């Protein structure tokens, strides 16, 4: 078990700097998910922990020890790759054993470890098979077993579920959460899929353009986004945001915070529009409402409206978010908040 | 109508393939048949393909007309040593060119490519003088050392190595494997078809090499089979074709066997490397 710390870390590839002066503390034993759009630097961070692409400057600490000059194989970390990176010429057993052999683990101990781990991930019947004869899900398990068998202090995963089909992905998500509970080691998981991040993480580190946008629990990230980027990245569909028309500020609300009605109500923010599209997803329906000035996505748990129907979108005051010109969220107790709330109310009245 | 057109198509295809096959196979067939004829039979006009009675004794005559055991041993030592040396040098070189980034890499690789564009006929005099200077001209080394680095092999294997996903190598590094182990346990097993192809090409060209041993050797003890067979013409007289062909059959036999056993791997290697 180990914590991971980045201290003033900079990473450049040639002339382009991907990450600059980054500080981050990943807690011991937590399931931390690095999430962000592609090219945001999340995989770069992961590879720095593994030592595959060491940082250009600054220090990376694992368990309080500076590992900047430690080889990948000596860092006590295991990495599961997106394409699994299984050794194709070795059998499942040899794949799992390879790391142990290199670490000079005795033959009896190896046999015991391989057998117990393969039982855990359900590969016992496949130990003598070649990877090419396995399904995608089984290969995934080989990659996991290979990582687990070394008993690493830190588990790194680079989009390990993105090559699986949707059903298997949801299943593996639960297995990974259980695995983390059982092993209790530090998990660092990279994904671009915010649903994956929300469902598995103890802590989400949301990144964009090499900078950390917010580092918090899924709950906090969802309810109290730091800034406009976070608000627009998290949630399906993400938060509705629009310019406020004052000081360059914006306002926003979650799709499920609004109510659709056929006649006007006394909601704090009210907006009249027409339903452009309707996506019926089973338990919920997503309406795309378009008016003169704004377009909103609204999530309803009842399917009451039809396309082309004129509707009112109503949002209560306590569900509204405001973001300053610097895109940072304005807290409810901050001085400008009430003024913006009143401004938005007046807009509606006009 | 449709099926008729198909029939014509496949008929033409098979005919053309047959013609090509015949063109390639005829010299071999003629060689084998001549090796089994009596001397007068090789001279009859019009020529006949099949011998009246296979003359197996031709092989004995050919093998007894000189120190053929020495020749064969020499050929085996030279060819096997070359292949082993080439593998030892080629695998790390190809790995470095395929998976490492270092200063001067493009220039060094260009030099490798340049090396395999220069024919041996250009360099044999300076090489001979150098080896004579070293005093090893009466050994087998002059037939081995100049071929230790196989430029074409490095090129082909590099292309092959480049297709191995980098993540597999990184995985092995995380599994605490040394670079040497990565080469031996990961890269080599994944490149068996390419290595088999390079090995076979190397085997054929050095087993059959005539020019280089001819200029690099000056005594019977170090001459290979090719020179020995060529000398049959002198010992047996210029027209003793049945004996000469028997010698040639012995010479090409190992090559035919090698092809038979590795043809699948060769096709695989060429499909992978895109040289088809």
Q: Note whether A72 contacts B171, CB cutoff 8 Å.
A: no
Q: What is the pLDDT, as a whole number, of residue B236?
A: 63
Q: Note whether A81 contacts B173, CB cutoff 8 Å.
A: no
- A89 CA to chain B: closest CA distance, Å? 6
Contacts of B165 in chain A (CB under 8 A): 83, 85
Q: What is the pLDDT, as a whole number, of residue B276?
A: 37
Reply yes or no on domain A238-349 having CATH 3.30.360.10.
no
**Would you give per-residue pLDDT tens digits along chain B (276 residues)?**
678 888 999 999 999 999 999 999 999 999 999 989 888 888 888 888 888 888 888 888 888 888 888 999 999 999 999 999 999 999 999 999 999 989 999 999 999 988 878 887 888 889 899 998 998 888 899 999 999 989 999 999 999 999 999 999 999 999 999 999 999 999 999 998 889 889 988 998 999 999 889 888 888 889 999 988 888 877 766 678 888 888 889 888 888 888 888 777 777 766 655 443
Position A345 pLDDT exceeds 80:
yes
Facing residue for B170 by CB, picked from A52, A99, A150: A52
Q: What share of chain B is helix, strand, coil (3-state, %, to 5)?
A: 80, 0, 20
Domain boundaries, chain B: 65-273
Reply yes or no on domain B65-273 having CATH 1.20.1090.10.
no
Share of chain A above pLDDT 70, in %: 99
Facing residue for B174 by CB, picked from A77, A88, A89: A77
Beta strands in chain A (DSSP E): 4-13, 16-26, 31-35, 57-62, 65-66, 77-80, 154-158, 186-191, 203-208, 211-216, 240-243, 250-253, 259-261, 269-280, 285-290, 295-300, 310-315, 321-323
Beta strands in A63-99 (DSSP E): 65-66, 77-80
Contacts of B100 in chain A (CB under 8 A): none
Q: What share of chain A is helix, strand, coil (3-state, %, to 5)?
A: 35, 30, 35
pLDDT in tens, A43-57: 999 999 999 999 999
> Which ranges of B100-222 would DSSP assign to H, the alpha helix?
105-115, 120-134, 141-144, 151-162, 166-174, 179-181, 188-190, 192-207, 211-216
Q: What is the pLDDT, as a whole number, of residue B49?
A: 84
Q: What is the pLDDT, as a whole number, of residue B269?
A: 66
Tokens of A205: 């580190």
Domain boundaries, chain A: 4-223, 238-349
Q: What is the pLDDT, as a whole number, of residue B52?
A: 84
Share of chain A above pLDDT 90, in %: 74
Q: Which residue of A has its CA nearest to B190?
A: A89
Angle in degrees, CA A251, A220, A46, rounded to 5: 110
Question: Span A221-250, mean pLDDT?
Answer: 92
- A85 CA to chain B: closest CA distance, Å? 5
Provide the 8-state DSSP code for B219: S
Q: Which residue of A has its CA nearest to B188?
A: A89
Q: What is the pLDDT, as a whole number, of residue A240?
A: 95
Facing residue for B175 by CB, picked from A52, A73, A83: A73
| B170 reaches A (C-beta below 8 A) | yes
Q: Note whether B175 contacts A102, CB cutoff 8 Å.
A: yes
pLDDT in tens, A303-321: 889 999 999 999 999 999 9
Q: Tell me which fold the domain A4-223 belongs to.
A: Rossmann fold (3.40.50)
Q: Note whether B176 contacts A81, CB cutoff 8 Å.
A: no
| A63: confidence class by pLDDT, cuts 50, 70, 90 | very high
pLDDT in tens, A81-122: 998 999 999 999 999 999 999 999 999 999 999 999 998 888
**Over chain A, what is the mean pLDDT?**
91
Give the integer Cα–Cα distance in Å for A56 and A10: 6
| B163 reaches A (C-beta below 8 A) | no
| B186 reaches A (C-beta below 8 A) | yes
Minimal CA–CA distance to A216: which of A197, A235, A237? Answer: A197
Tokens of B157: 């294997």
Minimal CA–CA distance to A120: which of A149, A93, A80? Answer: A149
Q: Which residue of A has its CA nearest to B174?
A: A73
């Amino acid at each position: 078990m180990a914590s991971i710390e980045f201290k003033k870390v900079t990473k450049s590839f040639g002339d382009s700097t991907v990450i600059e002066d980054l500080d981050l503390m990943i807690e011991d034993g937590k399931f931390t998910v690095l999430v962000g759009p592609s090219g945001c630097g999340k995989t770069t961070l992961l590879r720095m922990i593994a030592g595959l692409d060491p940082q250009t400057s600054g220090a990376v600490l694992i368990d309080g020890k500076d590992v900047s000059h430690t080889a990948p194989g000596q860092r006590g970390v295991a990495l599961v790759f997106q394409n699994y990176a299984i050794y194709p010429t070795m059998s499942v057993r040899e794949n799992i054993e390879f790391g142990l052999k290199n670490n000079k683990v005795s033959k009896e101990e190896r046999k015991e470890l391989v057998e117990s781990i393969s039982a855990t991930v359900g590969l016992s019947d496949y130990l003598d098979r070649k990877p090419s004869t396995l399904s995608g899900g089984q290969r995934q398990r080989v990659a996991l077993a290979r990582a687990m068998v070394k008993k690493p202090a830190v588990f790194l995963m680079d989009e390990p579920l993105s090559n699986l089909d949707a059903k298997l992905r949801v299943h593996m998500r639960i297995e990974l959460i259980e695995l983390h509970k059982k092993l209790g080691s530090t998990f660092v998981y990279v994904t671009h899929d915010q649903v994956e991040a929300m469902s598995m993480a103890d802590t989400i580190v949301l990144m964009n353009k090499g900078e950390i946008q917010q580092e918090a629990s899924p709950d906090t990230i969802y309810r109290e986004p730091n800034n406009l980027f976070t608000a627009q990245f998290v949630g399906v569909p993400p938060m509705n945001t629009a310019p406020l028309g004052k000081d360059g500020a914006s306002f926003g609300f979650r799709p499920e915070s609004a109510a659709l009605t056929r006649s006007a109500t006394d909601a704090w923010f009210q907006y009249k529009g027409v339903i452009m599209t309707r996506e019926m997803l089973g338990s919920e329906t997503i309406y795309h409402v378009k008016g003169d000035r704004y377009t909103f996505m609204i999530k309803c748990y009842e399917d009451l409206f039809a396309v082309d129907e004129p509707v009112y979108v109503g949002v209560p005051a306590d569900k509204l978010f405001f973001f300053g010109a610097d895109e940072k969220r304005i807290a409810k107790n901050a001085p400008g908040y009430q003024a913006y709330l009143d401004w938005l109310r007046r807009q509606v009245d006009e | 109508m449709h099926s008729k057109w198909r029939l014509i198509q496949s008929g033409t295809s098979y005919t053309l393939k047959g013609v090509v096959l015949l063109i390639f196979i005829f010299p071999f067939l003629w060689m084998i048949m001549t090796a089994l004829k009596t001397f007068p039979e090789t001279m009859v006009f019009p020529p006949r393909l099949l011998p009246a009675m296979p003359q197996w004794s031709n092989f004995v005559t050919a093998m007894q007309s000189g120190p053929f055991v020495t020749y064969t041993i020499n050929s085996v030592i030279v060819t096997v040593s070359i292949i082993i040396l080439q593998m030892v040098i080629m695998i790390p070189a190809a790995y470095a060119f395929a998976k490492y980034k270092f200063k001067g890499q493009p220039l060094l690789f260009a030099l490798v490519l340049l090396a395999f564009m220069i024919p041996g006929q250009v360099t044999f005099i300076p090489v001979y003088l150098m080896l004579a200077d070293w005093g090893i001209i009466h050994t087998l080394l002059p037939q081995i050392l100049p071929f230790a680095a196989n430029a074409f092999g490095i090129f082909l294997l590099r292309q092959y190595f480049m297709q191995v996903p980098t993540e597999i190598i990184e995985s092995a590094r995380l599994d605490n494997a040394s670079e040497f182990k990565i080469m031996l346990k990961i890269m080599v097993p994944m490149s068996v078809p390419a290595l088999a192809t390079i090995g076979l090409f190397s085997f054929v060209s050095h087993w059959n090499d005539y020019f280089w041993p001819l200029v690099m050797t000056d005594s019977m003890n170090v001459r290979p089979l090719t020179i020995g067979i060529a000398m049959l013409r002198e010992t047996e007289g210029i027209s003793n074709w049945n004996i000469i062909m028997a010698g040639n059959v012995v010479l090409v036999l190992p090559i035919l066997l090698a092809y038979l056993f590795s043809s699948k791997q060769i096709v695989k290697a060429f499909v992978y490397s895109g040289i088809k």
